[in-house]
Amino acid sequence: MSESKSPQYCPETLALSAGFVPDHQTKTTTPDITMSVNHCFVPEEGSFSANGIEDLADAPFLYAGWTNPTVRQLEQRIAALECTDDAYATMTGMAALSAVFFSLLRAGDHLIISDVCYAAVYELARDVLPDYGIEVTAVNLTDLDAVVQAIRPNTRLIHAESPCNPLLRLTDLAQLAHVAKQHQVLLSVDSTFATPVITRPAVLGADLVIHSLTKFINGHGDALGGCVAGNKALIAQIRSRAAAHFGATISAQNAWLIMRGIETLYPRMKTISDSAHQIAQWLENHPRVKQVNYPGLTSHPQYALAQEQMAYGGGIIVFQVDALDDIAQRFARDARLFYYAYSIGHQRSLAVLLKTADLMTSTYRMTAEQEQQFRHYAGDGVLRLSIGLENPHDLIEELEQLLR
């Protein structure tokens, strides 16, 4: 994947071509799907010993638990789009995060994690990692002084999310990467909300880039997947543990479905972002809407950073309204275009209520100051919209009906 650091083509082209070679017999113009779990091989003396292969991806295809031809194409395409040496694809986004944490951290190590991030990631860090002797500190990563104060001699990894779920708060990735490198700490970034269309964390200095491929990158709501991209040595280390011992490798069928989604990723994200921006502007002027969080709006507290770090505002909007429960019931009961459901990044628009009190009880363990910062963005709760490919005028018309 040497071409990924200095791509021969533009990203829009790499989304279709990276890792793809037409089958030498059929000359197909679409990637084939290889469902076989096993592959025949003729071993040469000593070539397949445990010490003979540093990276399982460098071996001939042997067993799908390590990698398979379809999965490998997906990994090469992600690496090319993220401008990294390599990538490892997993069965879910959480499997990718788990692979990173349990491959790179040991008992006695210290992890710094964003105090607001995807609930399952936060709960894994808060409830599970300490059972294995890993210390965890949750920090508002917008405050670099707080990050520096949290770093200890045993800190091994800082994990960020930008934009973060559900607040759409941003992290200055270039500055955070500078701090991490000064202290010889690795930086991983969950860029699921952004995708490589909007932000490339590795270009800004991150060591690892993580995605839930289930979301925007797949884009069709029909396949689970995750990935972690980074330099070859780090990915080899993660793959050797997670693929061989955790059973986290993605299926060939899901890898094929996600590659199909990647081929339309750039036009989809542009369309979705343009629609989301129109809708966010409309919501901001609605009398029942108290606050809108969207990185593309000038009202976003980090609008300047968004302009510097993001190509588009993205496809997620969160907003506060009066009579929050009543409005949420209307979305669940009466909406025809906004499907009331969790998850994000589908071709159809989704909406869901996220109440602050529920999140504080179920997931986050915040100090009073951290909760105050959370409520600055979320108040008592937000409606989260994941904008799809519908015409934005139709979506606005439905919002007008739901917000009456």
Q: Say how many Å lie between the first and final Cα of the chain, rounded.
A: 53
> Can you state the percent helix, strand and coil of the chain, rounding each to 5?
40, 15, 45
How many CA atoms within 13 Å lie on the side-chain side of 28? Answer: 7
The pLDDT of residue 6 is 45
Transcribe 98-120 into DSSP letters. Answer: HHHHHHH--TT-EEEEESSS-HH
The pLDDT of residue 32 is 83
CB of 26 closer than 8 Å to CB of 106: no
Average per-residue pLDDT in the chain? 92
pLDDT in tens, 265-315: 999 999 999 999 999 999 999 999 999 999 999 999 999 999 999 999 999
The pLDDT of residue 48 is 52
Query: What token pair was written down for 71?
Result: 């999965």
Torsion 127-132-137-140 (CA) sign: negative
The pLDDT of residue 254 is 97
Q: Quickly count: other Cβ atoms within 10 Å of residue 260's Cβ.
A: 16
State the DSSP code for 184: T
pLDDT in tens, 102-125: 999 999 999 999 999 999 999 999
The pLDDT of residue 218 is 97
CB of 337 closer than 8 Å to CB of 330: no
The pLDDT of residue 128 is 97
- Among the four given CATH numbers 2.60.40.10, 3.90.1300.10, 3.40.50.2300, 3.90.1150.10, the one describing domain 265-402: 3.90.1150.10
> Which residue has 């710094």 as its token pair?
112
Spatial distance between the Cα atoms of 258 and 238, rounded to a whole number of angstroms: 21
Query: What kind of architecture, by CATH, is found in domain 2-262?
Result: 3-Layer(aba) Sandwich (3.40)
Spatial distance between the Cα atoms of 236 and 210, rounded to a whole number of angstroms: 15
The pLDDT of residue 55 is 66
For the chain, which residues make up each domain, given as ranges? Answer: 2-262, 265-402
The pLDDT of residue 243 is 86
Buried/exposed 299-311: b ≥16 CB within 10 Å, e otherwise: ebebbebbeebbb
Question: Which positions of the chain have pLDDT values less than 50?
Answer: 1-6, 50-52
Spatial distance between the Cα atoms of 321 and 285, rounded to a whole number of angstroms: 12
The pLDDT of residue 46 is 53
Give the bridge partners for 385, in sequence order: 317, 351
Q: Do domains 2-262 and 265-402 have the same CATH topology?
A: no
If phi > 0 it is left, if psi is from -120 to 50 it is alpha, else beta; for residue 110 that is beta
Torsion 357-93-163-256 (CA) sign: negative
